[in-house]
Structure 1
Amino acid sequence: MKHTEAWKRSSPDEIKIGLISISDRASKGIYTDEGVPALRGWLESALSTPYVFHERLIADEREVITETIVELTDDLGCDLVLTTGGTGPSRRDVTPEATMDAGTREMPGFGEQMRQISLRFVPTAILSRQTAVLREIEGHTALVINLPGQPKSIK
């Protein structure tokens, strides 16, 4: 695969991270998104290597979520994509399905571990449907992980 200018890195150690907040209301401007700022803040405090973020705020629409994951991994070369929102049991919550559509292999241990940890603090965590996948294209593999929609749960 021929990589575009968007794939260039400022250093060999730089990690490209896609941050996607999935919210119908925030994407329409009904309220301010807190998901991407929470993800960014946590990562900035945790990372010691060079990084660059590519951020998106989108509606909870299966095709849009899948297309956004593909854009971040295939077009921009993100190594890691974190989503927040859309993992609950309601019919509008389609992030896990959209993530599976974008993935080439499921990584079920991530969702299992996140639910296990969350259950220590919130009894309804068992209702969360986070998942993780690898998206593999020629010459590149990215990890995509769904995180909860509540900013306090992201940590």
Structure 2
Amino acid sequence: MTTTRQAAVVTVSDRSAAGVRDDASGPLAAQLLGIDGWDTSVTVVPDDVTAIRAAVATAIAAGARLVVTSGGTGISRRDVTPEAMDTLLDRELPGIAEELRRRGAEHLPAAMLSRGRAGLHGTALVVNLPGSPGAVRDGIPVIVSVAGHVLDQLDGQDHG
């Protein structure tokens, strides 16, 4: 019996949320997750802690077991996605964020400046990616390489 895995992508961008710029990273993340068998929705929110938290929590309440955010992980004043995770993540999984930065820096040294985080909210995995198609292309394979194992562990399966 095959079960559909539910995921959500939350694009964090003032300009995309205002309709000034098309969201390039969110649909790409959904496409790449779809290739790996995830049924994925995309939501766009502004760079606002409350809006980011609400979008992630809403996605999880609707059944998403994996939530990938794209955007808001940098060092500008409006980059607040990591701060939105402060009260959202129950447990951090720093190795995922570290690997995302390492892989990104192989192509673009500025990827080291990403403050993205990864962790658990209830029985869901939440991972922050920078807001560019390149970061999504580099990051989604890292995420899907461990997401199934993370969810198996959360569901009480053995380490096998």
Task: Calculate the TM-score normalised by the size of structure 1.
Answer: 0.83
SS where residue 29 of structure 1 aligns?
Answer: coil
Q: 2:124 aligns with which of 118, 127, 142?
A: 142
Aligned to 1:22: 12
Q: Give 1:44 shift.
A: 2.5
Aligned to 1:66: 53
Q: Decide which moves more: 124-133 or 81-90.
A: 124-133
Give the partner amino acid of 1:28: A
Q: Distance in 2 between matches of 1:100 and 1:107?
A: 13
Q: Give 1:12 shift.
A: 5.3
Return 5+ residue gaps in structure 2 as ranges. 138-160
2:83 matches 1:97: yes
2:144 matches 1:154: no
Q: 1:81 aligns with which of 61, 67, 70?
A: 67
Q: Distance in 2 between matches of 1:147 and 1:94?
A: 12
Q: Give 1:85 shift.
A: 0.3
Aligned to 1:132: 118
Aligned to 2:140: none
Q: Distance in 2 between matches of 1:52 and 1:154?
A: 17
Task: Calculate the TM-score normalised by the size of structure 2.
Answer: 0.81
SS where residue 28 of structure 2 aligns?
Answer: helix
Identity %: 35
**C-alpha contact 1:100 1:106 (8 A) present in aligned 2:** no
* Segments of 4+ moved more than 3 angstroms: none
**C-alpha contact 2:10 2:45 (8 A) present in aligned 1:** yes
Q: Distance in 1 between matches of 2:66 and 2:12?
A: 16
Q: Distance in 2 between matches of 1:119 and 1:19?
A: 23
Could you report, residue by residue, the CA deviation over 1:122-150 in whole angstroms, capped at 9, with x for unpaired residues? 111111111101001xxxx0000001111
**C-alpha contact 1:100 1:133 (8 A) present in aligned 2:** no
Q: How many corresponding residue pairs?
A: 137
**C-alpha contact 1:87 1:93 (8 A) present in aligned 2:** yes
Q: Distance in 1 between matches of 2:20 and 2:79?
A: 18
Q: Give 1:118 shift.
A: 1.1
**C-alpha contact 2:34 2:40 (8 A) present in aligned 1:** no
SS where residue 146 of structure 1 aligns?
Answer: strand
Q: Distance in 2 between matches of 1:42 and 1:100?
A: 27
Could you report, residue by residue, the CA deviation over 1:8-65 in whole angstroms, capped at 9, with x for unpaired residues? xxx75211101100000110011111121110122233x1x4x322221000100110
Q: Distance in 2 between matches of 1:24 and 1:83?
A: 14
